[in-house]
Amino acid sequence: MQGDKKILYSAAQPTNNLTIGNYIGAVKNWVDLQEEYDCVFAIANMHAITVRQNPAELRKNTLSLLALYIACGIDPKKCVLYLQSHVPAHAELAWVLNTFTYVGEMERMTQFKDKSAKHADNINMGLMDYPVLMAADILLYQADVVPVGVDQRQHLEITRDIAIRFNNLYSPTFTVPEGVYVKVGAKINDLLDPSKKMSKSAENVNGSVFISDDRDTVIRKFKRAVTDSDACVKYDPQNKPGVSNLLSIYSVFSGKTVEECEREFEGKGYGDFKLAVGEAVADKLAPIQAEQARLLADKAYLDGVLKDGAESAARRANRTLSKVYKKIGFYQL
């Protein structure tokens, strides 16, 4: 707790452009929660380098993600908004937490296994250690809640395990965080292969809709989305994964419930439905894109946000780090 508000922490990696999956599962939810919680949002560039990055692109994507956060409605005056590598305490706590985490636990992580398969030529220690750095992020800020997509659930569980393990061995040090997942859209799937999550780094860009996609591209991608052969707009993720995925997306972007969306398309074909989804998404993205472009033209403002963010984040993080150092017996001057 900070004052009378609970602490909320989340982050995204500055890799590629964000997809509407990232928006629905994470960023939109953050915006909705920022009044109720004391919020800290990071740009996780230290996580990003666990997969090889082009330095110029990483730099560019960092500012672009910051501008996108703000364009989506995250208010830097209300929240702490910062770049992970600007706060050394993340790397420092991650090192300590490494000694409270077992190799077997990391080898079992689904994301590690997926990413190892995808980047078989670069299975580096950072890729394996990714969840420990994520635990350090969260625990440094004594976060009560962490809103993420369901793909991060396992990482949240290990964060809780590490926190409880440390608290039991020493004395209560870390708040044990809860994961928070949206009801509709915590896992948006690929438009062409609805058995896979929509990913920023998918091989086929036509399966992912990016926040930066223009109107024609968005509508074209939805037109080509995989459905099924029963021509019935009904939410049934087991038997109708493609249609259900489109319904989740439409529900979030139109602000209607899934049932209302089903009723709207009763007796109508998939062609009408897919066009409506594409239009609803494109309508919402246009103002975000315009605001992001406006912000990106003002580098001094964005740098100022990062500078202020780094200062307040470091102040909070160092408080926790120094507690940890004391408890584990690091001699202090």
Residues 6+ apart with CB under 8 A from 158: 101, 105, 109, 131, 135
Of the two residues 166 and 181, which places its CB atom closer to ligand ATP in the complex? 181
Establish whether 200 is a catalytic residue.
yes
Q: How far apart are CA 9 and CA 138, in angstroms?
A: 6
Q: Which is nearer to ligand LTN, 18 or 71 (CB)?
A: 18
Catalytic residue among 6, 60, 183, 200: 200
Query: Could you tell me the smallest distance in angstroms from the CB atom of residue 58 to ligand ATP?
Result: 13
Contacts with ligand ATP, residue ranges (CB under 6 A): 12-13, 15, 21-22, 24-26, 148-149, 151-152, 186-188, 197-201
Q: Which does 200 bind (CB under 5 to 8 A by kind): ligand ATP, ligand LTN, none?
A: ligand ATP
CA 223 to CA 243: how far, in whole Å? 12
Which are the contacts of 124, defined by CB distance < 8 A and separation ≥ 6?
50
Residue 152 or 292: the one with the smaller Cβ distance to ligand LTN is 152
Q: Which does 131 bind (CB under 5 to 8 A by kind): ligand ATP, ligand LTN, none?
A: none
* Alpha carbon 307 to its chain's center: 22
Q: How far is the CB of 152 from ligand LTN (least distance, A)?
A: 5
Comparison of 146 and 218: residue with beta carbon closer to ligand LTN: 146
How far apart are alpha carbons 160 and 180 in whole angstroms? 13
Tell me if 151 sits within 8 A of 104, measured CB to CB: no
Output the smallest distance, CB 149 to ligand LTN, in A: 7
CB nearer ligand LTN, residue 127 or residue 134 = 134
Overall residue count recorded for the chain in this entry: 333
Helix segments in 235-298, DSSP class H: 241-254, 258-264, 270-296
CB of 140 to ligand LTN, least distance (A): 10
Task: Select from ligand ATP, ligand LTN, none the partner in contact with residue 25, using the beta carbon and a kind-dependent cut-off of 5 to 8 Å.
Answer: ligand ATP
User: Which of ligand LTN, ligand ATP, none has residue 277 at its interface (CB below 5 to 8 Å by kind)?
Assistant: none
Closest to 198 (Cα-Cα) out of 249, 134, 147: 249
Structure tokens at 19: 């997809």
Tokens, residue 78:
């209300």
Given the residues 197, 221, 274, 284, select the one marked as catalytic: 197
Sign for the CA dihedral angle at 163, 166, 168, 171 comes to: negative
Cα–Cα distance measured from residue 107 to residue 321, given in angstroms and rounded to the nearest whole number:
27
Picked from ligand LTN, ligand ATP, none, the partner binding residue 132 (CB below 5 to 8 A depending on kind) is none
Least distance (Å) between residue 19 CB and ligand ATP = 7
From the candidates 115, 187, 221, 240, give the one annotated as an active-site residue: 115
Among all residues, which ones are annotated catalytic?
A: 115, 197, 200
